[in-house]
Each structure stands twice: as structure tokens, then as C-alpha cells.
Amino acid sequence: MFQFGSSGNLAQQIANGAPIDLFASARAIARALAINPKVLLLDEPFSAGDIPIRKILRNEMKIFFTQWNIPVVLVTHDPEDVKVLATKVVYYG
């Protein structure tokens, strides 16, 4: 079972079909990825977690999206999400 902070990364755990113990936001992302989407829309995906969990999940998701080459549309109010995950930014203000 995957545990945050364990050796290995989330992408590898999911790719290997390992059972994953994640909080609700991460489970929702995992469900969306299960259908092999061409594009993934994430609306405030890390907002429910506390700061340490959000940091870990951001880093794991960056690795995952890079390895699987999945385009992601990320809706967020958190500049840290943009800093870690974005390659292109559209700002609505």
C-alpha cells in the first residue's frame, strides 16, 4: 500500500496497480485517471489537505503527470500549485 513519504512515487504505485491509501482528493484523481483520460481537469484538487499533505501530493502529481504525459487543466487559488505544477498559466482576475 502506498504511503506518502515512502520510497517510490505515486506514479509508480498506480502504474503497478498497488492499492493506495489516499485522502478523498487523491482518490478522486485516481478514479479520473483510471479511465485513461486525454485531458484531466482538476478544480482545487489539494484544497482539502493540510499544508504538508498538499506539498507531498503536488510533488507526486507533478512526477505522475510528467511520466504519463497527461495534459492537465488546473483551477486553483493557491500560487504554490501554479509554481509547482504549471507550464503555462491563464489568469482570470
pLDDT by residue, tens only, the chain of 93 residues: 334 444 456 556 656 655 555 566 667 777 887 888 889 898 988 887 778 878 888 888 888 788 878 888 999 999 999 999 888 999 887
Write out the three cell numbers for 80: 504554490
Rounded to whole angstroms, how far apart are CA atoms 41 and 19? 23
Evaluate whether residue 4 is within a structural domain.
no
Q: Which residues contact 8 (CB under 8 A, 6 or more apart)?
A: 2
What number of CA atoms fall less than 13 Å from residue 61's CA on the CB side? 27
Q: Is residue 37 part of a domain?
A: yes
Per the CB < 8 A criterion, the answer to whether 74 and 45 are in contact is: yes
Residue 78 resides in a domain: yes
How much is the pTM? 0.64
Residue 20 is predicted with a pLDDT of 53
- Give the domain range for residue 79: 10-85
